[in-house]
Structure formats: C-alpha cells, structure tokens
Chains A and B, each alone.
Chain A
Amino acid sequence: MLQAQPRNHWLIACALLSFFYFCNTANASDPEFDLESLMSTDVQVTSAMKRAQPISNTASSIYVLTNKDLLNAGVQSIPQALNLVPGMQVRQINNNQWAITARFAGGRYSSNLLVLIDGQSVYNPTFAGVYWENIDVPIQDVERIEVIRGQTGTLWGVNASNGVVNIITKNSLDTQEGYATVSHGSDLQYDLNLRYGGTIGDQGSYRVYSHHLEEKQASEGLSPTNDTSLLNSMGMRVDYAFNDDITLFSKWNILDSAIGQTSRRVDKNTLRNGSFNESVERNKFDFLIRVEERISKKSNHMLQFSINKESGYQETLDEEFRAADLEYQINTLIGDHQIDMGLYYRYNDIELISDEYITNFGNSNKFENYGGFFQAQLNVIPDKFHLILGNMSAYNDYTGWENQPSFRTIYKISPSQTVWFNASKAVRVPSYLENNIEIQVNGSKVGEFVNTGNTTIDNTVLASYLRGSPDTEAEETISYEAGYRLTDDNYSLDLSIFKNTSNNTLTYQPSINTHAVNSAVFALLSGDVPQVLSILNNTPIYYDFFSLSTLNVTGLEAVFAFDISPKVDTELSYSVINLDYDLAPGQVAAISHDSTLTQLMAKLNVKLPHRQSLNINVKSEKGSMYSTGNIFSADIGWRWKAKPNVTLAVNAWNLFSNEYEYLNTRELHTSPTKVNKSVTASLYVEF
C-alpha cells in the first residue's frame, strides 16, 4: 500500500509551484472589469438578500467559491465543494455521509453551521443540522458559494454560531441553453445531470433540471460496508421581472434517495450495539417564492416564503418533518449609512415513529421560532472607517427569547489594506432531540464497572438510555475575532485570529439508581444471585443531557492567493484550531474533546494549451480531533474543452491516501469506512 509521506508530498507541491512561478508570462487580464464578475455583482450595496458584501468590506472571515472554481476542480457535490474552502473541516465518514463544520469539531449531526440554498435554510429540525448527502444542487447551476467562518448570528439567527454556507444558484436567465453532464468512475456507477432553460415572454425565464446518481460502496470499513447511494431529483427555477424594480423568484425541488447504511444501534435483545446493513429511503420537497422590490436607488425590500418537507424510512425508524418559513427584510441607506432590518417566522412539525430504540418522544413535536434583526453599518469616515452594530432577538419554544448582538469595525489602512475586528454573541438553541426524546443506546456490562467474580453477573448488560432534557439551556458563545486583508492586482492575503468562549455547552452525565445498586450489593453479599440479576435487569443507566461546561476555541487562519500569471494561479492556506473544555464534575462533552487540528492546503490552477486546464488541490490535516491519524490528500483534475460546447474532464481523488477520515463511532447510525482513492471521467455538453 502506498503510504502517505506528508513532508515529501509538500516538497513535490512546492516544486510544482516554483515551476509554474518561473513560467510567468505578461499579465494581460483585466480582473477589475471581468464580464462574469460584473454579471454577478448586485446593483445596490443594500441587497435584499443578506448576501456578502465585497470581501474587502467585510468584517468577518469569508471565502467565496465561484462557478469557475467549482468546475475547474471538477467537484460533483456540495461537500466536495466545501472541501476547497480553507479552514473548513470536511471529513468523509463513508461514501455517502459527511461531517462538516468550521471552527469546531464536525459530526454527522453537527448543528452549529447554517446552510442556505438561495436564502432557504435547509436544516433538519430534529437535530438542527444537515444531512449533507441530501443537499442536491446541480453544480453547473451554482453561481457561487459564500462561506462565512465564525459567528454570524446577528444576521442569520440561531444555529449559525460556527458559520454560514450560502449556496447561490444562477438566475435562470443565465442558464438558457440545454446542458448535460455524465460521469463514471471507480466509485461512481453514474452521475447524470440534465438541464434545459427557456424564456417566459419577454420578462421571465425558467430552467428545469434533473439529477441521477448511483455510487458504489467503499471497499473497507469498521463494519461490513454498505455505503451505496441511489439518488434521483428534479427541480425548476423561475425568475420573472415585472419591471426593473420588481422581480419574482420561485423554485421547487423534489428528491428521492436510497442510501446504504451500516447502522450501529442497540439490539433490544442483547441491549448492546449491533451493526445492521440497511437502506434509508428519503423523500424531500423544497419550495421557495420570493418577491424583491427596489423601492428607490437607496432602498429595497423582499418577502420570502418557503417550505421544506422531508421524510426518511429505515428499518426501525420513520422520521418526517415539515417546516414553513416566512421572512421579510428591508435594506436602506440613510445618508452614508447602511441599515438592514428583518423579521422571520418558522413553524416546525416533527414526527418520529420507532418501535425499537426511541422510547419517549417528548412533550411536543410542534414548535415555532420567530424574531427580528437590526444592523447599522455606519461609515464614520467614508470609505475609511466603518462601524457595524446589530442585534437579533429571536424566540424559540425551548429557551424563550435570545439576543445575538454584534459589534464590528473595519478600517482601511490604504486602498489595498484593511484591518477589521468583531465581537459578537451567538446562540445555539437545543434541538428537538436534545430537548425531548429518550433513546436506548449501547448497554454496559457490569464487568466494565466492577468485577464481582460471578461471570453471570459480570456479563449482565445494563440497559442504557440517552435522555434529552427540557432544562437544557441555549449554548451562548462570545466571540472575538480580528483580521487583516491585503489585496493587490495579482495577490491577496487574508489573516484572522479568533477566540470563542461558549457557556452551556452540551454535555451528558451517566446516572444510576443508587438505591437499586445498594440493594444489588446487599443481595450479592447475601449470595442471592437471582435477586442481584433481577435488580440489575431493572436498573438502567441514564445518560442525561446537560449544558454544564465551558468550551474555549482559539484559532488562526491565513490564506494567500497569488495569480502568478494569467495562466497560473495558486492559493496557500494554513489554519489551526484548539478546543479546550472546562467540564463540570461528572460531565462528559457530548461532542468532541480537548484537541488541536492543523490544516495546510495548496491549490494550483493552470491553463494549458489547446483549451486544457489542470487543477491540483493538496490538503494535510494533523490532530486528534476526529480520532484518526493525520490526513493527507491530493486531488488532481484535467479538463479539455474539445469543442465550444463539449468539455471532457478526468479527476483523480484522494491520491496518496486510503485511510479513515472520521472515527467518532459514538454517533447513532454512524459507521465509518476508509476513503478510497478514486477516478472519475466526465463529459459536459451544452446544446
């Protein structure tokens, strides 16, 4: 087996970069007036959507992936795209499940990263996180993905305490041609995308699209592998401009998937965890309609209504949720100052059916969230010094009203240099699962705690339950972040340091009925084994959720991008993050542990003769955050525009490595597999 030798690989990467540096040719590009950038720029600074401003004017760590970046890298899914973002932690659990987050430890059920598709939040309210395998957005239709690392609660609400992933698709007017892609690979049976666009009269346009995917299972895992994927989806987007000032945007998407899952869950007969190969079928429907109006040259507002409906069926659990969102925002300029305000309301309805391991579904499966935000960007010294103040007040049925204020400053040292600082408070509200339900989990043998000398007693398994609690408090995080940004025609440097202190971090504490234990000890001393077994069989261990720890997260991120020539550009990044828990006595951190993770990334894009291009992405991660060894991966992609409307691409993924990227096996239904080396070949045709 080819073993990863990180140091050598970095030497190779450096040598490659040096080679391309010396291939430098005269710069003839005009990035300032690049036509595609102009197409994607908002006419007004005050955008009805909370889109990011120009990066140079943003007091947060933001990274933007453009459509070109995604196509150059040959990515075929949103998780693969996020793997290109410096500082993001993207770990592949198996061939169809992912753990993704920023500035924390990711997990299958992470809930601190908000994901939006065209302004529609797509989280599952059961655990307030995202099933990444069901985020299905055709990559060719993505205009850009904005990733904000760090707290953004003031604008984006609760559960955005680690960041926001904002996926923005192209206006349907920009996708008028037919488009088809077909891919096949060593881990991929087929991946087929079809799209067709057209006009609606003189003022409207639409596109319809479908996606069909079948992926193979990994070759090796902790349990026998079963991580296949079968996905079919279709959708439509409509854009209509009543005039220059009023536009309507609507879209819907339906998805039907069946993913193979090696489920690690409790067997009710043995009370211990077992591995079960099964299939999870999911059906999903998303709908969104938004009307935007430009009230004047300085103001606009928008009203948006959206629906998510999702159901999942597996052998022992049926889950379904329905959510409806209504949002209103207004953005205006008063003098030189930008004011943003908004209101939102969300209704959630969750239904879980399990005759196996969920033993209590809590008091209510219907809950509401609503709130409003206000933000003022004061240009104290125009184009030089900005002060941004804001607050979001949000209500939820579990913890009541929560405030998320922020204070940000931006100072432009010169046209090319900016320093910024922000201090903010963000809140993560307990999910339905943390607040309500009781789940039977892996039982513990008596012998794991004490050796009685009696094999029957020592092998007796105590039933164990994980219990949510309505007393779980909202996790409150105070964050301080500072950054420096340098931008020039050919290069840019982005530095940020941060310190987040979270109170009420989720923990759990095991407990057992001490009276029953004393009775068992007394019976044991009396030699009454049947009585001991009878007591133990009726004495479960409870793992109760609490919010009784403090978590300090500190880190540093640096990204250096350099356009060596019009034909060669590169990007180097380094980030380090440290998690430090301060746990109350008897408490165990529910997610992750004290750890440090260091990430190094290098990207290289080269335009080759005859309309070919080469893309190399190298990534190294060191640390114990995911209980794995160090990770070193390299992806290489080659594209050839054979004809104006035909492109061929070959991508090699995860070279130099064949290891686990994620080994947190405490999570329900999670069974990691090794991430294989793989190759895909793709054909893209416009018609």
Chain B
Amino acid sequence: MSSFRLPVFIKNRFSCIGFVPKESCRKILLLLALGMYSIPAYCSEFDREITLKTGFIFNFSRFGQWESNFSDKANFTLCSPDRIFVEVARKNLAKKRVGKLPIKVIETSVNDDYEACDVIFITKQFYLNWKDNFSHPVSKGVMLIGESKGFIQAGGHINFFLLGGKIRFEVSIKNLKNSGLQLSSKVLRLGKIHER
C-alpha cells in the first residue's frame, strides 16, 4: 500500500509551524486536503440571506397594520413566485404567528391577482416580470416587498438592499397608505424612509 506524500513545497512551508509536530502537521494537511473536496457544494450561504429576509418580512408582518384586521381569516398568507424563498420561509416560519394567525407560505405566479395574499415578496429574479405585469392594480391590503432597485418607484412598499454586508430596507409610507397599510414606528425607525 502506498503512503500519502505531501508535495515538497507544502512540506517545507508548513512542517515548521510552532508547536505542531511534523507528523501531526502532515496529518492535518491531509485532513484539510481530503476535507476540501469531500463535501458537496455549499448552498446554505444563499439560504442565509433568504433566512434573514424571511425574518425581516416576519417583522414587517407582525408590526404592520391592515385595515381588514384579518377578522375573517384563518391564516396569514405570505406569497412569492420564488420557489427557493418559499421553501426557506416555510421552514423558518413554520411555528410563527402573526397576531393569532398561523403563517401560510404559498408559491404564486407573477400573473396571479394575489387576492389570497397578505404579503408578497418579489425576488430579484422575478422583478422585471412582475413590473411588466404590475399595470393591473394589486388588491388593497397586500404588502408588496421587493429586493430590486426601482421597486419603490414601481409601486412597491418595502424594498431590501445590502449595505456593508448587512440587509437594510427602504419604505414608502405613501405607497403603504395608498394600499390601506401602516407600519409601526418600531420598524420605520430602522428603515430608510423613501419620501421625506
């Protein structure tokens, strides 16, 4: 059986690391080399951004105020045409409630009339498609959340953007009001108010 040999340049470079004995150093490097290529590509990094945005959307929902007050509803419904977002949101919001209502996350088409939705999240991927179809009025009482430049100007209510590696959001109080919605000052004080 042939033994594993480190390339000479690696051996010379690393075998002298401080307190780590040469043999251990080789084993660690072997582990490192094996580990690097033994595990399938990582996708949860993408999920992390979506998970954080799910958290924000949950807060917008619980600190939002709908004229209808959900008196006739059994669920609070979050919609998105983005399947990946829907999967992540379902996982993260499974046991959460908005007021007393359990949260239902559903995948919709961009062309749907969103009648059943309380919140819609339009991801970047679906933005242009949504914008083209936005000429028809969205039902009152549906909170529109996006993550694309120009989303507010296109009639959206809340738009995510990244700054310094962190998620930030801008809010149009005017657009919210036009749709019969309000947001608590707890949220507004943390966001960038679009029309001031």
Cβ contacts under 8 Å, B161 to chain A: 241, 244
A247 touches B163 (CB 8 A): yes
Task: Please give me the residue from chain B that is nearest to A298 by CB atom.
Answer: B45
A272 to B16 Cα, complex, angstroms: 50
Contact mask for chain A residues 39-81; partner B; CB cutoff 8 A; 1 contact, 0 none: 1111111111000000000000000000000000000000000
Cβ contacts under 8 Å, B20 to chain A: 405, 407
Choose from A298, A300, A336, A389 the contact partner of B165 (Cβ within 8 Å). A300
A300 to B166 Cα, complex, angstroms: 13
B45 touches A39 (CB 8 A): no
Q: Report B146-187 residues with CB < 8 Å from chain A CB.
A: 161-168, 185-187
Cβ contacts under 8 Å, B59 to chain A: 33, 35, 38
Q: Report A335-366 residues with CB < 8 Å from chain B CB.
A: 335-337
Cβ contacts under 8 Å, A48 to chain B: 165
B128 within 8 A of A: no
CB distance from B55 to the nearest CB of A (A): 4
A176 touches B190 (CB 8 A): no
Knowing A335-B39, A389-B32, the reply to whether A38 touches B165 (Cβ < 8 A) is no
CB distance from A592 to the nearest CB of B (A): 25
CB distance from A71 to the nearest CB of B (A): 15
Choose from B18, B40, B46, B163 the contact partner of A171 (Cβ within 8 Å). B163
Q: Which of under 10, 10 to 19, 20 to 34, or 35 or more describes the interface residues of A?
A: 35 or more
B11 within 8 A of A: no
A188 within 8 A of B: no
A239 within 8 A of B: yes
Contact mask for chain B residues 30-70; partner A; CB cutoff 8 A; 1 contact, 0 none: 01100111111110011011001001101100010000000
Cβ contacts under 8 Å, B49 to chain A: 43-44, 297
Cβ contacts under 8 Å, B17 to chain A: 391, 403, 405
Knowing A36-B190, A244-B161, the reply to whether A335 touches B36 (Cβ < 8 A) is yes
* Interface-central residue, B42, B55, B161, by most chain A CB under 10 Å: B42
B164 touches A249 (CB 8 A): yes
A292 within 8 A of B: yes
B28 within 8 A of A: yes
A433 within 8 A of B: no
CB distance from B161 to the nearest CB of A (A): 6
B contacts with A, residue count (CB < 8 A): 41
A644 to B45 Cα, complex, angstroms: 38
B192 within 8 A of A: yes
Q: Report A199-223 residues with CB < 8 Å from chain B CB.
A: 199
Interface-side segment among A8-16, A104-112, A379-387, A656-664: A379-387
CB-based A-B contact count at 8 angstroms: 127
Task: Please give me the residue from chain A that is nearest to B40 by CB atom.
Answer: A335
A45 to B51 Cα, complex, angstroms: 13
CB distance from B37 to the nearest CB of A (A): 7
CB distance from B124 to the nearest CB of A (A): 9
B4 within 8 A of A: no
A359 to B33 Cα, complex, angstroms: 56
A333 touches B42 (CB 8 A): yes
A478 within 8 A of B: yes
A334 touches B36 (CB 8 A): yes
* Interface-central residue, B18, B56, B161, by most chain A CB under 10 Å: B18
B19 within 8 A of A: yes
A47 touches B165 (CB 8 A): yes
CB distance from B170 to the nearest CB of A (A): 9
A333 touches B45 (CB 8 A): yes
A644 touches B162 (CB 8 A): no
A265 within 8 A of B: no
Cβ contacts under 8 Å, B166 to chain A: 39-43, 171
A604 within 8 A of B: no
CB distance from B105 to the nearest CB of A (A): 15
A residues with a Cβ closer than 8 A to B are 30, 32-33, 35-36, 38-48, 171, 173-174, 176-177, 199, 239, 241, 244-245, 247, 249, 292, 294, 297-298, 300, 333-337, 376, 378-380, 382, 387, 389, 391, 403-405, 407, 423, 425, 478, 644
Shortest 3 CB-CB contacts between residues of A and residues of B: A33-B55, A425-B18, A244-B162
User: Could you name 21 residue pairs across A and B whose Cβ atoms are closer than 8 Å?
Assistant: A30-B96, A38-B167, A39-B166, A41-B166, A42-B165, A43-B48, A43-B166, A45-B45, A171-B163, A171-B166, A173-B168, A177-B189, A241-B161, A241-B163, A247-B163, A297-B46, A335-B40, A335-B41, A335-B42, A378-B35, A387-B31
B residues with a Cβ closer than 8 A to A are 16-20, 28, 31-32, 35-42, 45-46, 48-49, 52, 55-56, 58-59, 63, 96, 161-168, 185-187, 189-190, 192
